[in-house]
Chain A
């Protein structure tokens, strides 16, 4: 083995350690017994699930928070895809005036800082009694989810050959029928990838969920974890928090590992070929 090859593997190993070591530490800490929570041994010994049972204890109520996150991120994703699909199709397939302006406007909204939305909406939602409701979290989430989804879907539609729908339209389909019967089924993988990316982004959302809800039973998982208090109130319950972190993160990590190729295509949006 020459030194170049060794260097290559060392580089790869460094990336693996960089990306996975903190995540591994969360896993290892979550599986310790509370009594040896501060142990620095790399492998928990003995392995214990006490922290995980504590997460779902009645005083923590994390199950409800997970359900809230699922509802908010799930509905936001479905709504976003329903609304964004037609816009993405128009952007990818139709020629019209002001198209560059429309594209610029959509991408500009995704750069919009969340706080500029939270401040006025907090006031509005207080006035219309939306505080502590799902819609108070779902509706503002569209502000970042929708541009993201439109952009992603647009890239996927663009990769599909235009001849497909032309053929369908020559055979007598209207554009709408061609879209529904030909394009949409073929774009399913792209729609699915966009759904995953949108869901993860909505699931990870923090500032809106933090601001629009003050009732513990309506908190989403990310907010709930940051608010965990220990049984005695002064010690931060890191073991429980690590276990909750594992529960929130592992489904995402599994999704990411299974669909990594597609997600990477989605994130880099297929522009580079």
Chain B
């Protein structure tokens, strides 16, 4: 009796109407706060505001339709260098931090999975970096990275971490990895816990070394969890703003991301270019998400997937697979 589908067409239609009713408030709100801005940004990106001089030499006030000028100006023209720099920084931060987070996160998960005692304590402490607001963690790392701060004291050096240059990039990467690697660890741990013990026992009987067990059993079996975790981390990293903005500052070439660039333009009331940057970032994120889902098979909707007419109670236990909540 669980599935309306089995009660025939009428019941299914009824469920459909009820579902539409229950889902509509959420979709109305999402339409207003996500759908509308998306369309508005697209429209805005085709305009340029402020005073301009028209073909006859008259000063024109207000928004001017400029077509794709905001986009072409981004790829070539005076603003192109700044755009490509921001694009490069965004991509660089995403690749490096997510790679580091995966390595550290998997290591943490393996350690926690082996632990018999202290597990609760460690799992609680791992949530601490997650719970600290990014803006606050940025201030904290700014303090740690002061010229006469504790970081320089520990490495016995005098690096001006928060000034322009490679060290500023490193400061941002360290602070970002610190905050998010434990979260990746938590997700991977959840994935590890569903791997049946007897798989390892069989491998041990066959004489597989711990390293071999890791590469041939652990990694393939946590892969679905890992791919989804990496996808969410990548998408989150691509929109990075708070950390470099607070830790290093606005308009700092070495750490300016696409979001920072768009934000700076918008705060200077250049809404047209700002909207164009935001739209490009949106497209970039959408493409990356698409690649993850299509090529790497990231199963983001996981258990929420409607598995056709399969009866719920006869559904086999799902294979190791995690749904991950974006955070």
A1-55 residues with Cβ-Cβ distance < 8 A to B are 8-9, 11-12, 14-16, 18-20, 22-23, 25-26, 29, 38, 40
Q: Are B133 and A113 in contact (CB under 8 A)?
A: no
What is the bound-complex CA distance between A103 and B18, given in angstroms? 16
The range of chain A's interface size is: 35 or more
What is the bound-complex CA distance between A91 and B4, given in angstroms? 14
What is the bound-complex CA distance between A207 and B112, given in angstroms? 34
B114-141 residues with Cβ-Cβ distance < 8 A to A are 114-115, 118, 120-141
A79-122 residues with Cβ-Cβ distance < 8 A to B are 83-84, 86-87, 89-92, 94-97, 99-100, 102-104, 106-122
Distance between A251 CB and nearest chain B CB, rounded to angstroms: 9
Q: Are B111 and A113 in contact (CB under 8 A)?
A: no
What are 19 pairs between A and B in contact, CB < 8 Å?
Answer: A9-B118, A15-B125, A16-B125, A23-B132, A92-B304, A96-B19, A111-B232, A111-B326, A114-B259, A115-B263, A118-B278, A119-B37, A119-B275, A121-B37, A140-B33, A166-B1, A211-B266, A236-B142, A255-B131
Q: Are B33 and A264 in contact (CB under 8 A)?
A: no
Q: Are B306 and A99 in contact (CB under 8 A)?
A: yes
Distance between B26 CB and nearest chain A CB, rounded to angstroms: 4
In the assembled complex, which residues on chain A have CB atoms less than 8 Å from the CB atom of B327?
A: 148, 197, 201, 267
| Closest B residue, CB atoms, query A85 | B22
Q: Are A19 and B126 in contact (CB under 8 A)?
A: yes
Q: Are B3 and A95 in contact (CB under 8 A)?
A: yes
Q: Are B301 and A104 in contact (CB under 8 A)?
A: yes
Per-position contact with A for B87-121: 1 when CB-CB < 8 Å, else 0? 00000000000000000000110011011001011
Q: Are B131 and A200 in contact (CB under 8 A)?
A: yes
| Closest B residue, CB atoms, query A109 | B34
Q: Are A94 and B15 in contact (CB under 8 A)?
A: yes
- Tell me if A177 is interfacial: C-beta within 8 Å of chain B: no
Q: Are B241 and A115 in contact (CB under 8 A)?
A: yes
Stretch in A56-64, A184-192, A242-250 touching the partner: A242-250
In the assembled complex, which residues on chain A have CB atoms less than 8 Å from the CB atom of B125?
A: 15-16, 19-20
Q: Are A166 and B122 in contact (CB under 8 A)?
A: no
Q: Are B33 and A142 in contact (CB under 8 A)?
A: yes
Q: Are B186 and A264 in contact (CB under 8 A)?
A: yes
In the assembled complex, which residues on chain B have CB atoms less than 8 Å from the CB atom of A86?
A: 21-23, 25-26
- Tell me if B239 is interfacial: C-beta within 8 Å of chain A: yes
B275-319 residues with Cβ-Cβ distance < 8 A to A are 275, 277-279, 281-282, 285, 289, 300-306, 312-313, 317-318
Pick the 5 closest A-B CB pairs, nearest first: A271-B323, A120-B40, A11-B111, A87-B26, A204-B133
Contact residue among B20, B122, B303 (Cβ-Cβ distance under 8 Å from A271): B303
What is the bound-complex CA distance between A117 and B304, given in angstroms? 27
- Tell me if A128 is interfacial: C-beta within 8 Å of chain B: no
In the assembled complex, which residues on chain B have CB atoms less than 8 Å from the CB atom of A150?
A: 26
In the assembled complex, which residues on chain A have CB atoms less than 8 Å from the CB atom of B324?
A: 267-269, 271
- Tell me if B41 is interfacial: C-beta within 8 Å of chain A: yes
Q: Are A162 and B323 in contact (CB under 8 A)?
A: no
What is the bound-complex CA distance between A15 and B150, given in angstroms? 20
- Tell me if A225 is interfacial: C-beta within 8 Å of chain B: yes
- Tell me if B164 is interfacial: C-beta within 8 Å of chain A: no
Q: Are B259 and A260 in contact (CB under 8 A)?
A: no
In the assembled complex, which residues on chain B have CB atoms less than 8 Å from the CB atom of A92?
A: 304
| Closest A residue, CB atoms, query B1 | A166
What is the bound-complex CA distance between A94 and B19, given in angstroms? 7
In the assembled complex, which residues on chain A have CB atoms less than 8 Å from the CB atom of B300?
A: 104, 107
- Tell me if A146 is interfacial: C-beta within 8 Å of chain B: yes
A113-155 residues with Cβ-Cβ distance < 8 A to B are 113-124, 139-140, 142-143, 146-148, 150-152, 154-155
Q: Are B131 and A249 in contact (CB under 8 A)?
A: yes
What is the bound-complex CA distance between A269 and B186, given in angstroms? 12
A194-245 residues with Cβ-Cβ distance < 8 A to B are 197, 200-201, 203-204, 206-207, 211, 222-223, 225-226, 236, 238, 241-242, 245
Q: A256-B127, A272-B320 are in contact. Are A266 and B325 (CB under 8 A)?
A: yes
In the assembled complex, which residues on chain B have CB atoms less than 8 Å from the CB atom of A14?
A: 111
Q: A90-B22, A109-B34, A120-B41 are in contact. Are A12 and B187 (CB under 8 A)?
A: no
- Tell me if B194 is interfacial: C-beta within 8 Å of chain A: yes
- Tell me if B29 is interfacial: C-beta within 8 Å of chain A: yes
Q: A142-B33, A267-B325 are in contact. Are A204 and B134 (CB under 8 A)?
A: yes
Q: A114-B241, A146-B30, A268-B322 are in contact. Are A25 and B138 (CB under 8 A)?
A: no
In the assembled complex, which residues on chain A have CB atoms less than 8 Å from the CB atom of B136?
A: 222, 225, 245, 248-249
Q: Are A107 and B301 in contact (CB under 8 A)?
A: yes
Contact residue among B2, B12, B238 (Cβ-Cβ distance under 8 Å from A166): B2
Q: Are A226 and B135 in contact (CB under 8 A)?
A: yes
In the assembled complex, which residues on chain B have CB atoms less than 8 Å from the CB atom of A122?
A: 266, 271
In the assembled complex, which residues on chain A have CB atoms less than 8 Å from the CB atom of B133?
A: 203-204, 206, 222, 248-249, 252
Distance between A144 CB and nearest chain B CB, rounded to angstroms: 8
- Tell me if A263 is interfacial: C-beta within 8 Å of chain B: yes
What is the bound-complex CA distance between A95 and B312, given in angstroms? 11
Q: A12-B111, A155-B323, A211-B263 are in contact. Are A143 and B30 (CB under 8 A)?
A: yes
